[in-house]
Chain A
């Protein structure tokens, strides 16, 4: 799969099928043997908190990203990488047997040097406490809002 801006895509193996909505940054996972579907909660305003160089923090939803791209999984397994480049965040999801593996990582954006410090819960309901801090500068630690 080449880089795409497609809103929806599916990847699967013998056991599981994942339907990805790249626009909303959500998945659903279907267990093929039973038909049970596990849905990720919708993207929410508290997904991540970004701290700028002045230390000002602001919460963002993953879905608020205006600069995103979807690529195939980089390890050859069925999956996808979603780059939320203006948030400096990469989400890599791939199937490994009966498991869905999700990785959250920093990714350099096209127009920003923001650096991720943490990210949120998956795949359940959003909570107000589901925040994390980010920093623009690699040398300056940001202040997080964790309890």
Chain B
């Protein structure tokens, strides 16, 4: 049996696996702005052979029917830059960081970063990659949002950023900026409590965790205004010493990352109340604003959710649902309960390109993921480079494929995934061995040991 919530915005799913009881999941319907504002509907489908793979495929057909599924192949037909993701690496490049709580400060110039990216390109020979530039804003990473313009002066300002972008373009790689429209920082010129997302208890979400110090969460209605201002219109207010052209006009990025989207909240602010479904709509409008205007931008965010799939081209932090519990050691370490399975990939692998952040190469092969690099003066060790290059070559074959099957034998001693191009991956986590079969370009001779 599989249960699909046909009204998916106001609920959460709880899981239970207690000794002596069958494991179970629960739909808990949440109020929408404090009320059951509409009829909630769940469809329980019964049938033979509905294991987790078939459950995922049933859900895949559901999201296709509902219009939440656009394949990478279809996205590439509308935007040729999407095709460049196949076999690419995500290359993270850090600019400025000003940590308010410790007063630590670092800054790498755009020129240095351009040199490091070029060095990585030369060493790896990668034909395609996505450069993701962090901390490029006026005061560095996670600071003074949403007023990040103009680009960091110490790093080279607008001219330096443009030169960086042009060099990456000449390499044939994609160039994108990390940006964020969830937080509004206390030292941002646009800071105004009237813009806050207000919780049901009447209070804003105030936090002092990130580099930039004290901030609150923006209501989704406000996020869209700032995305339009920063990306399309340019800053018209006289602040930060001058007006700034839009991000488009400054450096014409062909990639983009909007941080922290794909989490939905309600807003109880009396002047701009927002349901979770409306928040999702505003987030999609933000993604469309950046991706639109014929600029062929490939769009990304973290932990892509179903409602944003048509407006996203790549994302990380995906793969499988896992239930973590805090390890009682006084730290923040968690451990997974049970054996994770890639439900997300079984549904969406051919709709969103997925680089793998960690160095778990076995999982990256198993899920057909690509890799991350960091642009820095020192290149990664040869062994790391070699494995990541193998993963990029593998991703060139399966990166846009549907994951058609996933099996485990024993108690997860052997895991096997299959892709629509006929490639199969068998991975033994305990022995850290991996076997690829399918086309000759990717097949291994027997199992190979991973680092």
Hey, what's the 0/1 contact readout for A124-147 against B, CB within 8 Å counting as 1?
Answer: 110101101111001011111010
Q: In the bound complex, do residue B34 and residue A142 qualify as a contact, i.e. CB atoms below 8 Å apart?
A: yes
Q: In the bound complex, do residue A100 and residue B36 qualify as a contact, i.e. CB atoms below 8 Å apart?
A: no
Q: Tell me which residues across on chain B come within 8 A of A121, comparing CB atoms.
A: 14, 26-28
Q: Tell me which residues across on chain B come within 8 A of A36, comparing CB atoms.
A: 46
Hey, what's the 0/1 contact readout for B309-328 against A, CB within 8 Å counting as 1?
Answer: 00000000000000000000
Q: In the bound complex, do residue B268 and residue A130 qualify as a contact, i.e. CB atoms below 8 Å apart?
A: no
Q: In the bound complex, do residue A117 and residue B14 qualify as a contact, i.e. CB atoms below 8 Å apart?
A: no
A98 to B45, CA, bound (A): 6
New contact pairs (20) apart from A15-B46, A124-B24, A143-B200, CB-CB < 8 Å = A29-B44, A98-B45, A101-B42, A101-B43, A102-B42, A102-B44, A104-B36, A118-B30, A118-B36, A120-B29, A121-B27, A122-B27, A125-B16, A125-B24, A135-B34, A141-B33, A142-B31, A143-B34, A144-B34, A146-B31
- 7 A-B pairs within 8 Å (CB atoms) are namely A98-B45, A101-B43, A102-B44, A103-B39, A121-B26, A130-B26, A133-B34
Shortest CB-to-CB span from A58 to chain B, Å, is: 16
From B10, B26, B32, B46, give the contact of A124 (CB < 8 A): B26
Is A85 among interface residues, defined by CB-CB distance under 8 A? no
Interface size of B as a range? 20 to 34
Is B410 among interface residues, defined by CB-CB distance under 8 A? no
Given known contacts A141-B34, A146-B30, A103 and B48 CB-to-CB distance under 8 angstroms? no
Is B1 among interface residues, defined by CB-CB distance under 8 A? yes
Number of residues of chain A lying within 8 A (CB) of chain B: 44
Shortest CB-to-CB span from A30 to chain B, Å, is: 9
Q: Tell me which residues across on chain B come within 8 A of A105, comparing CB atoms.
A: 36, 38-40
Shortest CB-to-CB span from A130 to chain B, Å, is: 6
Q: Tell me which residues across on chain A come within 8 A of B106, comparing CB atoms.
A: none
A→B interface (CB under 8 Å): 15-16, 29, 31, 33-34, 36, 38, 92, 96, 98-106, 115-125, 127, 129-130, 132-135, 138, 140-144, 146
Q: In the bound complex, do residue B27 and residue A117 qualify as a contact, i.e. CB atoms below 8 Å apart?
A: no
From A29, A38, A99, A135, give the contact of B35 (CB < 8 A): A135
Closest partner residue, chain A, to B33 (CB atom): A141
Closest partner residue, chain A, to B39 (CB atom): A105
A123 to B25, CA, bound (A): 9
Shortest CB-to-CB span from A60 to chain B, Å, is: 14
A143 to B46, CA, bound (A): 36
Closest partner residue, chain B, to A34 (CB atom): B48
Is B21 among interface residues, defined by CB-CB distance under 8 A? yes
Shortest CB-to-CB span from B336 to chain A, Å, is: 21
Shortest CB-to-CB span from B45 to chain A, Å, is: 4
Closest partner residue, chain A, to B31 (CB atom): A117
Q: Tell me which residues across on chain A come within 8 A of B42, comparing CB atoms.
A: 101-102, 122
Shortest CB-to-CB span from B352 to chain A, Å, is: 28
Shortest CB-to-CB span from B259 to chain A, Å, is: 25
A87 to B387, CA, bound (A): 61
Shortest CB-to-CB span from A11 to chain B, Å, is: 14
Q: In the bound complex, do residue B28 and residue A120 qualify as a contact, i.e. CB atoms below 8 Å apart?
A: yes
Is B201 among interface residues, defined by CB-CB distance under 8 A? yes
A133 to B34, CA, bound (A): 7
Closest partner residue, chain B, to A99 (CB atom): B45
Q: In the bound complex, do residue B27 and residue A132 qualify as a contact, i.e. CB atoms below 8 Å apart?
A: no
Given known contacts A105-B40, A129-B14, A135-B34, A118 and B46 CB-to-CB distance under 8 angstroms? no
Q: Tell me which residues across on chain B come within 8 A of A132, comparing CB atoms.
A: 28-31
A1 to B310, CA, bound (A): 44
Q: Tell me which residues across on chain B come within 8 A of A118, comparing CB atoms.
A: 10, 28-31, 36, 40
Shortest CB-to-CB span from B12 to chain A, Å, is: 8
Given known contacts A103-B40, A118-B30, A141 and B268 CB-to-CB distance under 8 angstroms? yes
Is B330 among interface residues, defined by CB-CB distance under 8 A? no
Q: In the bound complex, do residue A104 and residue B44 qualify as a contact, i.e. CB atoms below 8 Å apart?
A: no
Shortest CB-to-CB span from A137 to chain B, Å, is: 10
Given known contacts A101-B43, A118-B10, A143 and B33 CB-to-CB distance under 8 angstroms? no
Closest partner residue, chain A, to B41 (CB atom): A103
Closest partner residue, chain B, to A140 (CB atom): B34
Is B47 among interface residues, defined by CB-CB distance under 8 A? yes
Q: Tell me which residues across on chain A come within 8 A of B200, comparing CB atoms.
A: 141, 143-144
Given known contacts A33-B48, A144-B200, A127 and B34 CB-to-CB distance under 8 angstroms? no
A96 to B44, CA, bound (A): 10
Q: Tell me which residues across on chain A come within 8 A of B35, comparing CB atoms.
A: 115-117, 135, 138, 141-142
A132 to B31, CA, bound (A): 7
Q: In the bound complex, do residue A29 and residue B46 qualify as a contact, i.e. CB atoms below 8 Å apart?
A: yes
